Amino acid sequence: MSLASNDMLLKRVYRKVCVPLSEVQAAAPSAGPVEQFSPALHLAYRPRAQFYRHSLTEMGISPDSRQNASNAPALCDFAVTEPFSLLSPAGVKAMRQAVESVDVQANCKILIKADDGAPLNHWQIRGPAKYSKFIKDLWSSPEVNAAVSDAAQLRLKPTMAYEMGHTNVQLPEEHLCSEPPVDSWHYDANCPFVAIVMLSDPADMVGGETAIMRPDGSVFRIRYPAAGWAIVLQGMNVKHCGTPVTGGRGERMSMVTSYQAADDNIPYHGTLRGVRIISEVNELYGEWTVSRLRVLAAKASALAEKVEKERLAEKFDLDQTVLACQQLADYHAHTMRELSPETEVSDIF
């Protein structure tokens, strides 16, 4: 798909208008070098026996709830953690420097506008891992993956590099109290889990929490104690948003990385519907295709080996083989469906 097609997709939006990167007035980027990622220096996470977690059941959400665009059940009875320390002060500083770097600002920044074209003082960073080794190395590190997996009580891995380090930034202004949530109420369509880390000092803002809407309409708010603190959320099955900053002196900068089960035998129901319209589709589609085909190839190879052993032992099971082949076909069909540009944007939320 051409970049011209991508610009056309960017204009097919629901509830908000995303301005193509070429039209965004860049904030003053950081010209300084970004340091190399060091777990000892940049992380503050310490493995813990006790995480403060909230279950789906506690939130009044059925684990079999299928309100998301993927019509997918939850992978476990887990909703969200309470905040935990993930980045050290040095890690927060280095991550902000990476987000503000010349390459990331020039290639990844999208300004968000309201339906009437009025600016919302909200911009996003998409796909920064390609342009920042620090962002990619941190979110690829075994230490961070272990922390996120510990929080969810399920072994997880990032969905793809393009979804590492998605950043939401809301700039402060007096009238923001009347504006909608930073990223609107939504279920995540592209991934079962997300890790969200706050990169701004909450002491400088009024509002700025991550909010969860229960089925009865009540709202559960999570406030971050300090910059560098994070939560893990099963966002595909929990309706949530980032609330706007309604006062104070600081901006709200939060970073989100998408996760899926590390075991490829656990069903992955992610779609591209919620992220296609804010992404460079050549990058998004390309990485989606490669990652899915690699999983498909591994599954097909494992099935071929299993069938060959059964055949040589004269224990070939036709029914089970047909079923397994159909599962591979369904997986590939899902991959193909998501490569279509004809997405119903209203399915995102």
| CATH number of residue 75's parent domain | 2.60.120
Domains identified in the chain, total number: 1
- With a CB cutoff of 8 Å and minimum separation 6, the contacts of 131 are 101, 103, 104, 107, 108
Of 152-166, 170-184, 216-230, where does mean pLDDT reach its minimum?
170-184
Whether 98 is covered by a domain: the verdict is: yes
Whether 228 is covered by a domain: the verdict is: yes
Whether 69 is covered by a domain: the verdict is: yes
Please report how many Cα atoms fall inside a 13 Å half-sphere around the Cα of residue 58, on the Cβ side.
12
Whether 130 is covered by a domain: the verdict is: yes
Whether 329 is covered by a domain: the verdict is: no
Closest C-alpha to 326, from 299, 298, 308: 299
Whether 240 is covered by a domain: the verdict is: yes
Rg (CA), the chain: 21
Whether 141 is covered by a domain: the verdict is: yes
pLDDT at res. 118: 61
Whether 299 is covered by a domain: the verdict is: no
Range with the largest mean pLDDT of 128-137, 250-259, 333-342: 128-137
pLDDT at 20 over 60: no
pLDDT at res. 116: 63
Structural domain harbouring 132: 3-271
Q: What share of the chain is helix, strand, coil (3-state, %, to 5)?
A: 35, 20, 45
pLDDT bin (cut points 50, 70, 90) of residue 152 is very high
Distance between CA atoms of residues 321 and 330, nearest Å: 14
